[in-house]
Amino acid sequence: MRKFLTKRVKAFTLSELLIVLVIVGILVLLALPRLMPLISRAKASEAQVQLGHIQMLENNYFFTYSRFSDNLDEIGFEQEKLVTDGGSANYRIEIVEAGLDKFLARATAVVDFDRDGNYNVWEIDQDKRLIEVTKD
């Protein structure tokens, strides 16, 4: 029994583990700036999907009432709660203009994804022309 208690187990020391964590942290900090454009593009797909949905709802509204609407509730679109308000949506959706024969909807980022001071903005019109107005 005494022999069992005195047996040493091979393991890492605390200082060895801390050195490994510091090295991994440095590698992450070096890789992060190169990954930011990929992260921005991935998040921009949210705006593209939402604006495509707005375009479809506006067309449905147009076929019913022969005009486009400037009211998101009127066409049946519900804005998800924004990340700034504790939700998950990164873009604020709005209809900039609407009339008898045209509309323009905009998705504006509420978060500066790459922290360069520019907020990503996308727009779509009645012909489904999706344009990135401001790159992040």
| pLDDT over 90 percentage in the chain | 69
Report the C-alpha gap between 89 and 65 in whole angstroms.
30
pLDDT at position 2? 60
Q: Which amino acid is residue 50, in one-letter code?
A: Q
4 pLDDT above the threshold of 70: no
Residue 99, C-beta contacts closer than 8 angstroms, at least 6 positions apart: 67, 68
The sheet carrying 103-109 orders its strands as 91-98, 103-109, 121-125, 130-134
72 pLDDT above the threshold of 90: yes
Q: Over the stretch 89-133, which tens digit does the pLDDT of each residue have?
A: 999 999 999 999 999 999 999 998 877 888 999 999 999 999 999
Instruction: Identify the bridge partners of residue 103 per DSSP, sorted by sequence position.
Output: 98
Report the C-alpha gap between 70 and 99 in whole angstroms.
8
Q: What's the mean per-residue pLDDT of the chain?
A: 90
Report the C-alpha gap between 43 and 89 in whole angstroms.
10
| Mean of pLDDT values over 70-79 | 94
Q: Which two tokens stand for residue 65?
A: 């009432």
pLDDT at position 1? 55
Please, which pLDDT band fits residue 42 given cuts at 50, 70 and 90? Answer: confident
| Mean of pLDDT values over 41-64 | 94
φ, ψ of residue 50 to 5 degrees: the values are -65, -40
Name the DSSP class of 97. Answer: E
Please, which pLDDT band fits residue 25 given cuts at 50, 70 and 90? Answer: very high
Q: Which two tokens stand for residue 129?
A: 């022309």
